Amino acid sequence: MTARSMSKGSNLPVDARAVRAELTWAAGAGVPDIDGSALLLTGSGRVRDDGDFVFYNQPRHTSGAVTHLGKRSAAGAATDTVEVDLSRLEPAVERVVLCASSDGGTFGQVQGLVLRLLDAGTGAEIARFDMVAGTETAFIGGELYRRQGKWKFRAVGQGYASGLAGLATDFGITVDDAPPAAADSTTTAAGPSAAPGATTPPAASAMPPAPPAVPATPPRYPVAPTASAPASPAPVPPAVPPSVPPAAPRLTKGEERLPVDMRKRLSLRKEQVAVSLRKHGAAGVTARVVLVLDASGSMSFLYSKGVVADVVERMAAVAAQLDDDGEMQAWTFASHPARLPDLLLGELPEWLRLHVRVGEMSLFRRGRKRGLDPSQVDMREVGIQNEEQKVIAEVRSFVRNSPSAAPTLVLFFSDGGVYRNAEIERELREAVEEPIFWQFVGLGRSNYGVLERFDTLPGRRVDNVGFFAVDDIGTVPDPELYDRLLSEFPQWITAAGRAGILRS
């Protein structure tokens, strides 16, 4: 395809399977920092969710079709690039809007602002759009759009005085940390026309909603009935000798400080955990318990309805029964992992209030979010995408650096959306020789990728991974949940002991 210099509003067909949108400008003193980004839009002109925004804090779309490649500088020119694999875009995506934002000034201070569209395979230039701007701090340079099954590129050249937050909000992105918007949201560059709908959105709340209070009784949400658990195999006596009488709930420090209703629930649940362990031949076994919570954007509903808080309370009973000190280490993750403060039973209500929180998307490079408790993670640093392999690696590092006489049981809760299958498989295969059993629990019917298949994957000395999924964990009775949660762990203890992975 012959390269073409474009004017605002013009368009041309794109025959390449994948393209690179390269934003270039003259760098130098007093020039603001420029960042490229992309929005994946449906036929309605809006994103499906916040995951459809690709930028420096969220550099890869879950489909793998759009990637922010980052910046480079040479000979006084700076470049930021977004790559779009048109062949991998989902059918629901009809437009990819190519955006830019300025930090520390306006686009009027930027000289030589050019959007180049390149064939990602050959590097050949397909189109070139020279842009002129004024007081804008966000800009739509162009867009790729689907027309009658073919892709085309349009030069847009529309600016936003309200910045990246105003631009993103207009297309359906949730912005929790937007700065005050300018009075006039939308202006135009290199021409008088502006896209419809470019208006100043109402300011979003600076703080996410507080997690709901823990209910006196676990919440139950009506959905399709959960399939019954598969029959458990005959119990195999674990390699670790019993240290307490069978089915006896442990007494854990701090329980007396819990509210009465919560203390009663914990006591009953500890008894049910003890019964489940005895049924599977693991009465008296001790373990260090690690909790991992998916905080990706798709989990928002489960957090807002208190489902995740209820899960944490139910898992506290597992830690209370298996761990001598009743403490539970915990991680949250989405685009990035973050370790949470250890969960101490006596502090459970406050821990739920402070730390059971969904990830957030930050459009801005700035310091810690205002108003957080010193112990809280800034969830903007966690993000909203699924990167399970990162938190798996971090938990493995913790276990290596903090050895324990007891094995480690990881209780990993996620609603799916797994797409880093090769990386996850590599981490879990490498973890086979470590004293860790990974119990994954799927919250709903989604794509769990390699996690569902791990039981059948060959080439491991011991099976160090368990997995099951439930439509609505709130409808699963405690005895059934603990039976399913603890059915494979005792078998792993035996196998890992025989293989020399666990030391008696």
Render pLDDT for 292-346 as a digit per residue (tens, 0 to 9): 999 998 899 999 999 999 999 999 999 999 987 778 999 999 999 999 999 999 9
Across the range 234-258, mean pLDDT stands at 55
Residue 468 and residue 474 in contact, taking contact as beta carbons nearer than 8 Å? no
CA 69 → CA 82, 281, 343, 490, distances in Å?
A: 6, 52, 38, 45
The DSSP bridge partners found for residue 41 are 95
User: Which contiguous run of DSSP H or E holds residue 73?
Assistant: strand 66-74
> Does residue 162 carry a pLDDT above 60?
yes
Q: What is the mean pLDDT of the chain?
A: 83
> Does residue 501 carry a pLDDT above 60?
yes
Across the range 16-42, mean pLDDT stands at 92
Burial of 189 (0-12, 13-18, 19+ CB in 10 A): buried
For tokens 């209780």, name the residue.
411
Residue 96 has which token pair?
């990819």
pLDDT at res. 3: 62
pTM of the model: 0.65
CA 477 → CA 246, 272, 399, 480, distances in Å?
A: 22, 11, 31, 5
Where does the pLDDT of residue 2 fall: very low under 50, low under 70, confident under 90, or very high at 90 and above?
Answer: low
Distance between CA atoms of residues 291 and 328, nearest Å: 7
